[in-house]
Structures are given as structure tokens and as C-alpha cells.
Structure 1
Amino acid sequence: MHEASYYHHEKNYIICDLCPHKCIIKEGSTGFCQTRLNKDNVLYAENYGMCTSIAIDPIEKKPLYQFYPGYSILSAGTWGCNFSCKFCQNYKISQQKAPMRYIAPQEITKIALSSGEKNIGLAYTYSEPLVWYEYICDTAPLIRKAGLKNVLVTNGFINSLLFNELLPLIDAVNIDLKSFNNDFYSSICSGDISFVKQNIEVAIKSCHTEITTLIIPGLNDSEEEIASLSEWLAGLDADMPLHLSRYFPNYKMESPPTPIRTMYQLQNAAQKYLKNVYLGNMPQI
């Protein structure tokens, strides 16, 4: 285990400072993300270096469409998440422990270097990488020193001061903006949109940024909401790529897939404000 970087003590418990949940963690317990354990009054990142998934993916799969298109990237993920999205596509690693193995920062850097001429670097992805914070902080400088790129695929729900500390090591980020309605964040994800919006503003000032929104029927699929979301993003950068991704039932959500017609309607609504709006999880025509 590896001691967590950001926490403080109050009375007989620990408060984790990594994300806005500010979890109160008693002896022998973990926080919301399940990765931070209070043992003997020290907070440990139990998932440090622990990989549940590792593969070489097209960079477009992250999705990043305007960052080294046509290239690939080594992608690695741990377990745990500081959201509990009812529609999670990777719930077997985000909401529970899965089979895993330890890969030291030096070893994963060597793997990235040996992953072929088309590989541009390492993406921290699959589960929520920000609960892998200490490992990324140790690994990203090695990746950068090797002449490779660091990519984050994240929900953006982190203490903004810590996000600012990490971003100088990051070359590109895709942030899930899951809705433009905080009731959605609260009831569906156990989160708060205000922190995500703040961190999108932080990210675009530091590195290449793209946004993904999963479109779920009856929850965030109105033209008014997507227009508002797109108008807000355009106020930051009208060239920022937005990926509207088609939902399919998974985990605790059984609603039918998003109608294809809805996807095209929402793309049209977004394109009134943004220049680069892409559709994902769509049938190939």
C-alpha cells in the first residue's frame, strides 16, 4: 500500500481531501471511492499501481478526435470511482474490485515505450483515474521524460487545486460532462456539476481538452439541455470537440437505447454553438 497524498486528521478519524466528497473515514474503513483506507490512523491508496485493465487502443476510442488522430495509445485502468453512475459501462471495475496486478511506474513506462511506433503514450482510463492520483503523479513524469504523452479520461470530480497540480504533466484530457443539470449529477451519479464545470475551465487553460456526454432517454436528452451545455462550452472555446455518445442499458439502468434520430437532433442543437460535434456508439453507415 502507498500513503495517500492529501488528507488530514480530525479527532479520531481522517478526512480525505482528494475530491469534493471530503469523505470522513474511520479506522478500518474506506471512503466513497473504495480505494482509500484508514489503517492505524494513516490514509492509504490501496489501488496504487494496481491495474485491472491494460490494452492498446486507438486514440479515437478515448474519445479524442483532434489529438494525434490515427495513432494508438497504451491504456491502463485501476479500480474504484468517486461517482456511482447508475448507467456505468465499466461497473465491474469502478464499483467493485476486479482481478488485478501490480505494475510499477517504471514498468508501465517500459511497456508504453515498447508498444509500437504508432503508440503516443499512456492513457489513464477505464475506471476513474483521479482516484489513482498518487500513481499518476509518479508515472506521468516518467512517461513525459520518455518522450511520450499523458492522457486522462475522467469525470473531472476532484479538488481543483490538486487538478491544477496534476495538469502540467497531462497532454490531453477527455472529461465526461454527464448532464447540464445538477439534479442529474446528484441523483444519478452522486456528484455535483459545479466542480466538474470548474475543472473543465481549469483543463482548457492547460492542455488539449475534449468533452463527452452520454445521452440517456428521458434524463438528459432534451434539445434545450444540450443547447445550454453547448452554449456554455462555446463560451470557453467554440472549437472544443464535444462527443455525444449513444446510451445502451447497463448496470442499474434498463431504459432502451437512445433513438438514433434523437442523436442527430441533439447534434444539430449542439452545432449551433460548437464547431466540432461528434456522435459516438452509433451504427456504421
Structure 2
Amino acid sequence: MSVPETSHPARYWHALDDGRIQCDVCPRECHLRDGQRGFCFVRMREGDEIVLTTYGRSSGFCIDPIEKKPLNHFYPGSSVLSFGTAGCNLGCKFCQNWDISKSREMDRLMDQASPEQLALAAQTYGCESVAFTYNDPTIFAEYAIDTAVACRERGVHTVAVTAGYIQGQARKDLYAVMDAANVDLKGFTEEFYQQLTGGHLQTVLDTLVYLKHETSVWFEITTLLIPGQNDGDDELRAMTRWILDELGPDVPLHFSAFHPDWRMQDVPSTPRETLIRARDIALETGLHFVYTGNVHHREGDTTYCPTCHGELIVRDWYDLRSYRLTADGRCPDCGTAIPGRFAAKPGHFGSRRIPVRLAR
């Protein structure tokens, strides 16, 4: 049975002199006449306002390890209640969640939950956090913000898994209530962003700088390496140098392997050696915490002390095999404080993935 589409007032827009309304949530600044939808498809003009058509509705809920977001320095070993909606404000040709982010079928959003139900569910299932993921919380910012507020009231953290393509007041409001984020830095050239995502690089860099200097949000960065597109040594050196100069050496960076998908099925999967080479470049640049994803690579899964280089957290995919941080998040050998958010004891959720249905 189909769930009827619902409309929830959006918060980020203003009227234009020509009778259209401009959406202000992201740099696209879609100009809409009555009944028109923005590029993301889920923000629509309805009468004299813009509404969010996916508020309170999801493409599904799942309990994941926090390392899958990926976040390696945010309560390691804990579980996170993950969900997304539909639509996206970028047009990535390599999208690996295209069945959700490119969806134009609102009837697929069969699962419903209010912000309060989500917070209660996370608490009931023993999840440390709720993650807005699968598609970008930027486009359902009102739902994400309200959920984050409800979670905070119950002592549950919230995580934005995002491309960082957001601006202005929406950026400020979203990250004012987030505890952590993983930002996709998809490449490091404007050409890559324009041709393969339909967006612009500078906005993402602005978001990263904002997170670092204007918020207390813990954030990590992920770059999906696509053969022949964004995996050249010069680009990797430029990107990691920018991270070092603008964000500092302690922001964790994850290099993830591409697999053929969506509109780039003719491009081969990323070789494991490419991720190892990228990690070596980042470490040589001076970054302290560099990880590899979607491949089995023990060194690329392990957190090392940047001072004495001892193994602190050894992972096997999403399982913690060894955890040596002190209760206050320090190296037990030399006392170096490791940046991140750590509990006195690690979680033990492991690599499970548990789909759930929320009680109504």
C-alpha cells in the first residue's frame, strides 16, 4: 500500500521579485514556480512557500557499526541507527546509493517515523548515535535538525554523512545540532566536480573550513578514488596539502575504493594498490590518521599513535581486534591525546548490519 506524499514547511527560501521562490538550502538556489520541484526533487513549491515532501519518511532503517559511516574516531565499536530518505542535490555519475539518491518514486518511502520516534528507537536498540545517510541530509535538513534535537534530549548523538554541498543559514542550523559528520570530498579539481557531480568544489571546501573553525562537530573526510578521474599523485598531494594547511593534521581521511555503478559502469574497480599509494602520499604530506576503505588492508584499518607510532586500535573490516586507548583517549605508551570522541570503554557491536522496522 502506498504512503501518500506529505508536505512539511521548509525553512530556507525567499520570494523573488518575478514571482518565483528561491530555495536557499544549497548553492543551486533553485527558482521555483508553483508546483515545481528543485533539482533534489524533494523540495517543492506549494503555493507561496517551499515544502519538504519527505519529512518523516524513510527508505529504510538499519543498525550499523559506526565505522561503516565511516567514522573511526567517534565512539569506536558503537552501533548507529542509520536512515535516509530520497533525492539528492548532486548528480554524481558514480553514485553508489543511486537507487535511493536518484529516486523519483516517493512511494518507495514506506517507512515512517517522527523525530521523537527515531530518538526513542535509537535509545531502545542501544545505539550510541543516529546517522543521516544513504542520501544527503542537506536536502532533508528540517527533518534532520528536528531529529537531532529530539536525540539530544535523550542523550543520543547524531551523525551527518554528507557531500557538504550546503550553504548559508542551513549550514549553520544543521551543524549546530550535529555531533559528528563524515564529509565526502569527492575530488580536488573544479573540473571533476562540474563534469562528474554537477556541483562545485569550493562550496565543499567552505563547509570543511566551517566545520573546523566554527563548530565543535567531530568530522572525518572520505574520498572515493575513481581510476583515471581523481587518483593522480599530483591531485592527491594537492588535496592532502590543503587538508593539512586548512584543517590540520588530525582530521582523519578515508580513501575508499570505487566499484562500477550508476552511469560509470564502464570504469574498473579501484585497485587495492591505489588506495595504499594514496594513503602513503597523505602520510608523507603530514596527515596523522589515514585509512583505506572497501578493501582489506590491516595497516589502513589501524589507528596508530602519531607520536610513538604504536598500534592503538586494530580493526578487521568493522570489527575491533585490539583497543589500547586509555579511558581518557590517550596512547598508553607515550600519553599522546588522540583526537576524537571516545568512551571509557569501546563498543562491541562488530560488523553486523541489522535492518529494523520502527514501531508506530
Both proteins in one fold, TM over 0.5: yes
Distance in 2 separating the partners of 1:231 and 1:263: 17
Write the mapping of 1:164-183 to structure 2, written as runs, cut at 5 A: 164-183=172-191
Distance in 2 separating the partners of 1:53 and 1:240: 30
Of 267, 271, 274 in structure 1, the residue corresponding to residue 287 of structure 2 is 274
Gaps of 5+ in 2: 1-6, 299-360
Q: Which runs of 4+ in 1 moved over 2 A?
A: none
Q: State the shift of 1:67 in Å.
A: 0.6
Distance in 2 separating the partners of 1:224 and 1:164: 33
- Does the aligned pair in 2 maintain the 1:80–1:93 contact within 8 Å? yes
* Partner residue, 1:248: 259
- Higher Cα radius of gyration: 2
The TM-score normalised by the length of structure 1 is 0.96
- Does the aligned pair in 1 maintain the 2:54–2:85 contact within 8 Å? yes
CA displacement 1:127-176 (0-9 Å, x = unmatched): 11111101112111110110110111000000143212221211111000
Of 220, 241, 257 in structure 2, the residue corresponding to residue 231 of structure 1 is 241
RMSD between aligned alpha carbons? Answer: 1.2
Q: Which secondary structure state, in structure 2, belongs to the residue aligned with residue 47 of structure 1?
A: coil
Gaps of 5+ in 1: none
What is the number of equivalent residue pairs in this alignment? 283
Q: State the shift of 1:284 in Å.
A: 6.0
Asked if 1:194 corresponds to 2:202, the answer is yes
Distance in 2 separating the partners of 1:165 and 1:237: 24
* Partner residue, 1:126: 134
* Partner residue, 1:107: 117
Partner letter of residue 5 of structure 1? R
Distance in 1 separating the partners of 2:223 and 2:91: 16
Q: State the shift of 1:39 in Å.
A: 1.8
Asked if 1:60 corresponds to 2:67, the answer is yes
- Does the aligned pair in 1 maintain the 2:92–2:197 contact within 8 Å? yes
CA displacement 1:191-217 (0-9 Å, x = unmatched): 111010000011123211100000001
- Does the aligned pair in 1 maintain the 2:14–2:23 contact within 8 Å? yes
Distance in 2 separating the partners of 1:284 and 1:233: 23
Partner letter of residue 242 of structure 2? W
Distance in 2 separating the partners of 1:229 and 1:148: 33
Q: Which has the higher contact order (CA 8 A, sep 6+)?
A: 2
The TM-score normalised by the length of structure 2 is 0.77
The alignment-based identity, stated in percent, is: 38
Q: State the shift of 1:23 in Å.
A: 0.5
Q: State the shift of 1:47 in Å.
A: 1.1
**Higher alpha-carbon deviation: 138-147 or 164-173:** 164-173
CA displacement 1:103-140 (0-9 Å, x = unmatched): 11111111111112xx2021111111111101112111
